[in-house]
Structure 1
Amino acid sequence: MFQDKKLLLAITGSIAAYKSILLTRLLVKAGAEVKIVLTPAACDFVSPLTLSTLSKNNVVIDLANNESWSNHVQLGRWADLMVVAPLTCNTLAKMAHGLCDNMLLATYLSATCPVVVAPAMDEDMWHHPTTIANLKQLEAYGNKVIPVNRGELASGLYGDGRMAEPEAIMQYIQEHYFARQDLAGKKALVTAGPTYEPIDPVRFIGNHSSGKMGLAIAEELARRGAQVQLVLGPSSVTTAVANIKVHKVQTAQEMFEACMKVFPTSDIAVMSAAVADFTPATTNAEKIKKTAGSLTVELTKTKDILKALGQEKRSDQLLVGFALETNNEKEYAREKLTAKNADMIILNSLNDEGAGFGYDTNKITIFERDGGELTYERKPKQQVAHDIVDRIVNRLYA
């Protein structure tokens, strides 16, 4: 997502500065190189040592440190993007009127890269005419302003002025600055999450899939310009990324029907859901009562969605499947690639630490129809999604 991007994070003196610690961590995990500049007041809220450790770069605070001079001009030219988060009312006023009394402001006035700000202040300050005028002036210079949230404020009041959450800032940056539109005009089908096969009104057969991997793929496809239809099994994951239409389903049969309906108009299909292989032959209308004896549940096979799509696939469509294995991983993945008429199979193994259900990371190997095999190190699922979509783009335009 942010691989090899250079981000300059500027932090001002606000209680919301604690969020910048998580923002730093998320940016680094997403592959960005992060350098940080603080106002002296920001040091009262966040530790330079913490930020230096997370960013793996020295934190800059003063224009001069003993006999050393901090080159604000070089710093402003180094970055692909400068992010001021949080932006206080005080620093906003100084930026809007060109004041320069600290290292952060000197860097801002020297920056040749785009600048985006995430304000944080109390509601009355946020709605003050001076603040409104300063924000308009800042935008007139070509800077972008990330909207504030409404919620509990440091004053104890409830209202507008909360700094956007780190995840929302990441999403804003991605959509407004680093989005690659190499899938513009394409339509994609993605499945994610588990399926629940009902035994009775309160019990079901399911699995531990969280839907995180499928959602990350859907969001990466959408950010690159694709119109995405996400067929999502029972999962708590949500998305606010544009270009994604979510179809919520419960059972394997419902997922099958949704996929068969959407697939004919899709250019890309990524089947990442953990679909149940078996479902109860009958579903009790009433809750089954506990008895002294044992309970036998007869199971029947569910429809193989990937195989069904492979049988319908046209030459202009790209079909991607997933394989979660515990043994003979590569052998089974290659067999699945052929048997399902897929173009790519993404293998992950429960034997790999930090991979599989529920984790925020994954470790994959991609098997391709032409015999290609690409193995990746364990990464956050957003970066894994980036790698997968890179291969999809490569095959689409090969």
Structure 2
Amino acid sequence: MKKLKVLITAGSTYIPIDSVRVITNIFKGRLGIEIAKEFVESGAEVKLLLGNSDIEIEESFKKGLNIVRYKYYDDLYSLVLREIKNDYDVVIHSSAVSDYKLADYKEGKIKSGQPELVLHLVPTEKIVDLFKKADASIFLIMFKLEVDKNREELLEVAKKSKDRANADVIVANDFREMKNNHRVYIVYERGVKEVAGKTNIAKELIKIVYDKFGE
């Protein structure tokens, strides 16, 4: 079997409010980094697009890992458009991507001292939708995060997202479970697997990928 070529996205994105302020989220890309490390250990050729994260990656993994950093949503969008031309076998899109951006962004600094500040936000384009549109042969693993959903509700939302993006696998998780042992539901062609713990999640995704590619 040939050496798999894998693209992984991880970490959060910034959306600028003005030249000095941003909207972002709390995620640092821990699971995406763990997945990248497991793929490196498996012998795959791995590129990691890593957003706003202060997590240290061990030097032993850096040698086998091509890391490209980004900060803003637009940065990640541009990187993805570039990378999807490079014939990846597998894409694992775990970035915590901003869902909204300013409708009327202007450079400079919004004046302080205002009694009220209202920001007009509009939806961003779904980056996960770019992969299969560009290359239908990519084996796409995506993630879905919800808050305060039970198992049935979470799986219902996840399956709809999976179908919309034409993904092969979706990892569904609820924010409450991330605080404990990070339990997720992996939805793929053979059904649903419940897995807990970041390392176990990464290893299960490795297994699904290599089962697909015949090793």
Per the normalisation by structure 2, the TM-score is 0.89
Aligned to 2:168: 343
Amino acid at match of 2:40: A
**TM-aligned CA deviation for residue 344 of structure 1:** 0.2
Say which structure, 1 or 2, has more relative contact order (CA 8 Å, 6+ apart): 2
**TM-aligned CA deviation for residue 341 of structure 1:** 0.3
Choose the corresponding residue for 1:256, options 77, 83, 94.
Answer: 77
| Identity between Structure 1 and Structure 2 (%) | 27
Q: Is 1:318–1:396's contact at 8 Å kept on the other side of the alignment?
A: no
**TM-aligned CA deviation for residue 216 of structure 1:** 0.6
Q: Which has the larger radius of gyration?
A: 1
Matched, 1:304 2:121: no
User: Partners in 2 of 1:394 and 1:364 — Cα distance?
Assistant: 20
**TM-aligned CA deviation for residue 210 of structure 1:** 1.2
Matched, 1:200 2:21: no
Aligned to 2:205: 388
Matched, 1:362 2:179: no
CA distances 1:87-129 after superposition (whole Å, capped 9, x unpaired): xxxxxxxxxxxxxxxxxxxxxxxxxxxxxxxxxxxxxxxxxxx
User: Partners in 1 of 2:178 and 2:136 — Cα distance?
Assistant: 37
CA distances 1:300-342 after superposition (whole Å, capped 9, x unpaired): 2222111111222333x21000001122211011111111000
| Counterpart mapping for 1:319-338 below 5 A | 319-326=140-147, 327=149, 328-338=153-163
Structure 1 residues 287 and 277, CA gap change in structure 2 (3 angstroms) = same
Aligned to 1:282: 104
Amino acid at match of 2:110: I
Aligned to 2:64: 243
Matched, 1:269 2:86: no
CA distances 1:371-397 after superposition (whole Å, capped 9, x unpaired): 511112x32x22321122111211222
User: Partners in 2 of 1:280 and 1:353 — Cα distance?
Assistant: 29
User: Partners in 2 of 1:251 and 1:235 — Cα distance?
Assistant: 12
Q: Is 1:189–1:259's contact at 8 Å kept on the other side of the alignment?
A: no
Q: Secondary structure at the residue paired with 2:161?
A: helix
Aligned to 2:214: 397
Q: Is 1:230–1:244's contact at 8 Å kept on the other side of the alignment?
A: yes
User: Partners in 2 of 1:285 and 1:383 — Cα distance?
Assistant: 44
Runs of 4+ aligned structure 1 residues displaced above 4 Å come to none
Q: Is 1:252–1:303's contact at 8 Å kept on the other side of the alignment?
A: no
Aligned to 1:225: 43
| Counterpart mapping for 1:84-123 below 5 A | none
Aligned to 1:372: 191
Amino acid at match of 2:212: R
Matched, 1:209 2:32: no
Q: Where do 5+ consecutive residues of structure 2 fail to align? A: none
CA-based RMSD:
1.8
